[in-house]
Structures are given as C-alpha cells and as structure tokens.
Amino acid sequence: MRRLLLALPIALLPLTVALAHDDHDHEHGSLGAHEHGVARLNAVLDGQTLELELQSPAMNLIGFEHAASSDADKAKVAAVRKQLEQPLSLFGLAKAAGCTETDRKLESPLFGDAPAKDDDGDDEHDHDHSEIHAHYQFTCTAPEKLAQLDLKPLFTAFPATQKIQLQLIGPSGQQGIEATAAKPSVKF
C-alpha cells in the first residue's frame, strides 16, 4: 500500500503539470511549491485500506513557521499536534464505512523533528518555510460506503488553509481536484 501511495504523484504528474499551467494568478503554480494558504493531500482507497497524506505549510495550521520559543508558541504547536492526532475529526468519512485509524505519522521541524537540509547543505530555508506532514492509514470494514471525503472539518479547524490540492486514487480511478471551504467534498 505504501508503494501505491508513493506512486500517486508520478501517476498524476500530467495533471499536476496541467494544474500548474492553469494557475497564472499565483507566484508558485506547482504542487511542490510552498505556498501559504495551500495544502496538498494525497488520498488512496485500495480495498479496505484508506491512506491520507497531508502536507501543509505550518503557517496554515499553526499561524507561524519559526521555532516555538515562547510558552504561547509552544502551546499553539502542542494544540495543533493534538488536533492532527485525531484525523477522524479532521476528515469527514462516512460512519457507515466503519473506518478506524491503524497508523499515523506526524513530522515537522516544529514538532522537534530534525529539518531536512537543502541541496547546498543549508537548512536555514527550511526554518523559514516549515511544513507539517501527516500520514494516516485507516482500515474500513465497508469501504463501498465511502462515497466521498469531506474536508470541511479540516478547513474549519485550520481557517488559514484556503485550498487543498488533492490527488486521489479510488474505485473510480485517479483524479486531481482542488477543494476549498466553499466546495470541501470530494467523491471517491
């Protein structure tokens, strides 16, 4: 399953290029760019297994990207981490699908993870533009009941997230969609 999730960006590369070309209003049109207000979500439903991988600038979720030094900043980081540790409250999954979380991994320099170094060995850029990566795996007892993914709870919890560029592989095939708070639901 992990191989399938890792193959998703390659499988949808033509769509990614098309979306980047259509995004003339933004300085960073590519899905790989760090753009405040924009998050990326990969979703794969394969049999009874659902995997979700969220990548977002820390600014969208926490409100800042610098290392937390004050007590208030540390409290904010801890609160956001606690929210991310409860994916069933962030991603609207049909209760009838019977999805339960089986695995979770959260990574960010703000959570105390070592930042990745740039190609030139300088990690200063990473401190200026911290990201949060969250990977979730669910087992669903009735995956056929999982008709859509509702991202409204995620937009509500993190209002600085204006849009989510979603790459999805499900029973209907693969698709690339942009979700917003006004249009937060995506069909599998």
Question: Is the per-residue pLDDT at 1 higher than 90?
Answer: no
pLDDT in tens, 124-135: 344 457 999 999
Question: What tens digit of pLDDT does each residue of 16-44 get?
Answer: 433 333 433 333 333 455 688 999 999 99
All structural domains of the chain with their residue ranges: 1-14+38-113+128-167
Q: What pLDDT, in 10s, does the model give residues 59-96? A: 999 999 889 999 999 999 999 999 999 999 999 999 99
Do 178 and 162 touch, CB atoms closer than 8 A?
Answer: no
pTM of the prediction?
0.77
The C-alpha atoms of residue 84 and residue 18 are separated, in whole angstroms, by 31
Indicate the SS3 state at residue 64. Answer: coil
For residue 174, the Cα-to-chain-centroid distance in whole angstroms is 17
State the average pLDDT for the chain.
82
Structure confidence at residue 35 (pLDDT): 83
Strands (E), 12-60: 38-46, 49-57
pLDDT at 181 over 80: yes
